[in-house]
Each structure stands twice: as structure tokens, then as C-alpha cells.
Structure 1
């Protein structure tokens, strides 16, 4: 193996387009875990809404949203001024719904509501990326959306989606900034299915050869080691029978899920073979320089002796404001940051006290 941190990956615009969910899903739908609805040619007004910094959410019944569901008093939270705190929560929720952004894309909004109602709950993504970095804002700490309020807040809180809108082809060798490829931004709603995260795996294919498999959830599961050979065999058969001769790219990355008793392998996603795709327990340099002549699939798991290395929750760098992370290494910056937070708090309190009740909402 040649050890070079500058090893190149040869990927083209066409390869990236082939990994778009709307491209591969129709061909492999019967192998996926759940049904999906793909919204193509999204209205310009909706894309502009996703790109905007303001967080304005739909004026629909907040009780349909997991975010704004009523808190129920228990022995832990039932105290004399509990009702006052609940009123503050309502005020906070109403700030999000002061105006209705969906007036600019009413037809799409109705279609999204219809799909969510039919599925019960959904997990969203764009062509290539899912908003996994913004799950911290959701009650369940996952991508499960019960309403368009949940959906839009999750999408607008994500930095990952900027990749699909602005940087999808940055790593393509034939990408020309002056003549960028024309493609439709898609929104995909997948029916929510609960899965066991320990049984999801990321698989790397180079030049039509399965070369590596990584545990997807970077926590230690003691039972996985004894299943390693069986899982390698099952995933290898799935790749040979389903993907190798039928997918359009020579090199790509695919995610699979194997529920007990491991009789089925479900395709979760297909990603471009490029550095912006997370390599998990491998480095991209390793993947690029592996010897294909060995015809050996390296399967890596989080083991007990290295589990501490992966103890940080995935995407945790997105769980606090970037200003806070930057200030944490500079005492004066931290002081300035806290002062700014205090000023914002006072301004919000003044605004709330003097606010009008134009829409009949509690202020």
C-alpha cells in the first residue's frame, strides 16, 4: 500500500449524478427498507426558503409537530409556577410561526402534508445529503418528522444540505465553475422505520470491487465481532447479485441494514466515492490505495479497546453555536459571546412585552 496523504480520487460529474437518490431509487426500490416519495423540480420559492436565514415555519396546528407538543406535568416538573413556564414555551413556539412562508409554495406544501399524513412520519433528505447534523433540535434526537413544521425546521437548521445546493460537484474532475452542471434539486421523504443502529454498515466499492465495510454507528457492540464473517458474506452476496452489474458507477459507497435473523439485506443509501462522503473507521487514503489484487474485504468494527476514541456523539460539533465553539478557546471571546447572548435575551424580552396580537396568538 502506497501511503500518500495526497492520493487522488477520480470522480466525474456524471458519477455524482448517478448517486443522486432520485436516480438510483427507481432501479433498486424493492431492495430498500421503506417507501419514498421524491419531489423533483422544486419551486424556486421553496429553494429560496431553504437558503434563507430566517426560520419561519408553517401556520399549521402546532400539536401535529413533535417540537411543539404540550408538556405534561409529572411529579418531576409539577410545581407552583409550572403554568407560567408553559406560557413562556407557547410564546417561544409562536415566534417561529408569526408569518407563514408556505404562501409562496402552497401546492408543494399541501403535497408534503399529504405524504406525511399517509406515512405517519418521515425522514427527509435532498439529492445526496440528509440533515443529520440538525437532529439535536428535534425532541427524539433523530430525523423523524410528524409535520411540515418538523420537516422545515430540520431542513433549515442543517449545514449539510448546503453541500447539495452549493457544493455537490466540487470534487468532480470535470467540474467547470463557469459552466456548472444543470440538475434539479430534489426533496425526498422516506417513510420512517425504526432500525437497530448497530446493524447498519457502510460499504466501499472501487473499480467494481467491494473493498471495505465499516460499522455505521460508532459505538461498541460486543456481539458484532462474532457476526463479522456472516455479515461480510451476506453483504458480499448482495453486492454481487444486486449492485455490481446494475449500478452505473465503477466506484461508489453504499449503506445497508441487516436486521435479525440476517435473511435480508436492505439498501439504505448510495453515496459518491469522494472525500466528502464520511469514511468512518477508514481513512480515504487507505481506501484509495488498497491493493485490489488481494480480493479481500476489510471489515472494521469499533472494538472495546478503541471505543473511547469514538465516544463523542456523531455530528456533535453542530449541537452548539459556532460562535460558542470559537470562543471556547479564547477567554475574552467567551466574555464577549456571553455579553452578546445577554443582550439578545434582553432585546427578545422587550420585544415580547411590547408585541401586538395581530394573529390572535399569545404574546
Structure 2
């Protein structure tokens, strides 16, 4: 029997400060590194009334009133006749969201830290590619990840700010090759590891191993290290062909709530860094079976919901039914009380 076989596993604490979380808020890092970001973005301060709407049980989606001869989804009336349009509570904010579509044809939304990737099944293309303000509301309202930003962003931090200013980040939609996106982990201002972001097997990545290290290490040393305010963090980058330019996609806290992908957090918390040696983890032909699950699979939904997501009118009808059902349950509860 090995000498240390009875030694209990050690859970290594990872210290996260309030400022570490704030530094990773999109509007903060974008102000420093926007020139290196993959997508242009417009950041709108979120009014309290919109926060209240996101946190409410009301599934009514703000939108334009339908026209008799509507030709496209943007003309659909998302608001049941018996309910006021929620947008009346934040008209100026609603108007600014609509105005953004004059600058960007399609938009991918997120709040300060999280994007609603878990609710993309609500849109026909099953991506965050939004063509109208109603698409944006639908994604935000249906996302547990958005709830994280509103209620749990500072769960692992040493303290919580007295007041959090939320922003709606409206990023210009741009196609991305998921095989060339990487998450990089920094501890104590040293780049420790690089993980493939999309956990599928791509044979050509093996030949790019040295290029990945060289390009991302140079980007970290030249761009991020001199300006970013936290000593430890994780950052996502995109390295498209011809593999000469690195684009910044996002920055996340060095915390267990950030997906460690092909590493473990205990590894990242205890790895002994070596100069000029960065660990690169890729899905290989031999371990690909371990990762044969679709991203956000825990958010899979019944077939009738998926079918409805392919038809805007069916999706709106389903949401209205949900909202009516919730109202009926509330009425029954009040009567019984």
C-alpha cells in the first residue's frame, strides 16, 4: 500500500477579492482592451426597472405592437392584449436597445459577466445571434446565467460592493470558429495553462501546439499584463487563420465558478509555474470520449419546446401560456389564503 494512501484530499482555497470580480466586468476590461476585442460593443447602463423585470416571474416580452400585414418576426406582437407592455417601465432603455440595431445588424447580448448561452435554444438558429430587441429580451429572461450576474456574482469574493452598476453589453455578432477559441489561466501574474475552449476533437490542433503557446504568450505579455488590475484571472482568446493575430473575447475571475475546462481547479491552484513553460491541454483522439457532451446540455428541454423555438409565433404563444398559467397559480394561491 502506498505510503500516503490514507492521506485525505486537500481542497485548496482560492482567494478572490471584490476588485478581482469588478475588474472582469465587461465594461471595465473593454475600456482597456477594446482595440483587441473580437467584436465591437455598445454598453448600456441598466436601469433598476429593467433589473426588476428580469427578476420578476412575468414572462411577457417587450416588443413592437403587431401590424395587420406583418411580414417578419420583428413585427410580431409579443405582448398579450390583456397585459401592458413591460417596455413602458423602461422606455428610454428600450429605445436605446432598438437604436443599436442601426449600428449592428445582429447582436450578441450579455450582462457584466455572463452571456445567456444556456437559453440559445429559444431562438431559431440556437445561437445568441439576435435580430431584434425582442430576441434579446427572450434570451435574457430565459437564462440562469443572467440570474448568476444579478444574484451570485460575488459569491466567492471577500466582500460585496455597496452598489453594483449593471450594464447590458450589446456586441456585434460575428461568426467564430469554436475550434480556435482558447481559455487561458493566469495565477500571480504568470500564464500557467491554456485549454481548448470547445471540447471536441480537432486533429489539426496538434500541429498548432507551438503556435498557440507563442501567440497567446506574446499577447499576454505585451497586452494584458501591463494594464490588467488583477494578479490572477482567466481570459478567452480567439486565434483564427492565418494564426497571426490574437483577439480577446472575455476575461473571467480566477475562481472555481469559472469553467476550468481541461484542467482542474486544484491543479490550477497548485501548479508550480516554470519560466517559458505553459501547459497546453487539447482534446486528443484518445480522450475525446470523455468530453462527448454538448455545451450547456444541463439546459436541454422537452421536444415540444424545441419545436416551438423554431417558430417565433409558437414560442410567443408558449410563453404567453406559461405567463397565464403562473397568473392562474397566483390567483389560486391568493384565494386559498
Q: Supply the distance in 1 between the matched residues of 2:103 and 2:275 (Cα, whole angstroms).
A: 48
- TM-score norm. by structure 2 comes to 0.82
| Counterpart residue number, 2:104 | 119
- 1:50 deviates by 0.8
**Within-5 A mapping of 1:117-196:** 117-172=102-157, 174-175=158-159, 180-196=161-177
- 1:61 deviates by 6.3
SS at match of 1:211: strand
| Counterpart residue number, 1:262 | 243
Stretches of structure 2 that go unaligned for 5 or more consecutive residues are: 1-6, 303-320, 329-337
C-alpha spacing 1:245/1:144, structure 2 compared with 1 (3 Å):
same
**2:105 paired with 1:105:** no
C-alpha spacing 1:227/1:96, structure 2 compared with 1 (3 Å):
farther
**2:58 paired with 1:60:** no
Q: Supply the distance in 1 between the matched residues of 2:190 and 2:47 (Cα, whole angstroms).
A: 39
8 Å CA contact 1:202–1:255 kept in 2: the answer is yes
Greater mean deviation of Cα atoms: 50-59 or 247-256: 50-59
- 1:291 deviates by 0.5
**2:234 paired with 1:253:** yes
User: Any idea what the Cα deviations from partners look like across 1:80-114, whole Å, max 9, x if unmatched?
Assistant: xxxxxxxxxx99x6759964110000001010001
C-alpha spacing 1:214/1:58, structure 2 compared with 1 (3 Å):
same
| Counterpart residue number, 2:49 | 45
Q: Supply the distance in 2 between the matched residues of 1:285 and 1:30 (Cα, whole angstroms).
A: 34
SS at match of 2:148: helix
| Counterpart residue number, 2:314 | none
8 Å CA contact 2:74–2:132 kept in 1: the answer is no
| Counterpart residue number, 1:12 | 17
Size of the alignment, in residue pairs? Answer: 300
8 Å CA contact 1:3–1:289 kept in 2: the answer is no
| Counterpart residue number, 2:190 | 209
- 1:69 deviates by 7.7
**Within-5 A mapping of 1:178-327:** 180-293=161-274, 295-320=276-301
SS at match of 2:38: coil
8 Å CA contact 2:238–2:249 kept in 1: the answer is yes
- TM-score norm. by structure 1 comes to 0.76
SS at match of 1:241: helix
CA RMSD of aligned residues (A): 2.8
Stretches of structure 1 that go unaligned for 5 or more consecutive residues are: 71-89, 322-343, 352-363
8 Å CA contact 2:64–2:74 kept in 1: the answer is no
User: Any idea what the Cα deviations from partners look like across 1:208-244, whole Å, max 9, x if unmatched?
Assistant: 1000000111111111111111111100000010011
